[in-house]
Amino acid sequence: DTGVSQDPRHKITKRGQNVTFRCDPISEHNRLYWYRQTLGQGPEFLTYFQNEAQLEKSRLLSDRFSAERPKGSFSTLEIQRTEQGDSAMYLCASSWSGVTGSYGYTFGSGTRLTVV
């Protein structure tokens, strides 16, 4: 297992375009999270999945953002009609949540989005 993989590592897009990011979690992990990180700040929670179900969404996740995790495997995060304020690092993480509670996350290296 090579850990959590994110693709692409960098994305430059023009304002108003749609972008999609992919995350491949650690295979035995049932939880998958998306976070966003802007310069000088810690990561901020966006949403998470347990298996294929999206169980929680942050207020930061506007209606231009949509996330999916078909079949409980990889996940995609799409941003429609991108704005300059969407420029950030988008981080994916996965974890196992057993009966006794979840443990630490394993993060991917992130996708850095620049909207010009």
Q: Pick between residue 38 and residue 73 the one whose CB is nearest to other proteins.
A: 38
* Residue 50 CA from chain centroid, whole number: 13
Q: Pick between residue 17 and residue 51 the one whose CB is nearest to other proteins.
A: 51
Residue 101 CB, shortest distance to other proteins, in Å, is 3
Cβ atoms 31, 95 nearer than 8 A: yes
Q: Pick between residue 65 and residue 105 the one whose CB is nearest to other proteins.
A: 105
Interacting residues toward other proteins by CB under 8 A: 4, 33, 40-45, 48, 55-56, 91, 93, 97, 100-110
Joined tokens for residue 110: 């992130």
Please give the Cα distance from 97 to 45 (Å, whole number). Answer: 17
Q: Which residues pair with 10 in a beta bridge?
A: 112
Residue 82 CB, shortest distance to other proteins, in Å, is 21
Residue 113 CB, shortest distance to other proteins, in Å, is 14
Q: Pick between residue 48 and residue 65 the one whose CB is nearest to other proteins.
A: 48
First-to-last alpha carbon distance for the chain, in angstroms, is 36
Rg (CA), the chain: 14
Residue 16 CB, shortest distance to other proteins, in Å, is 27
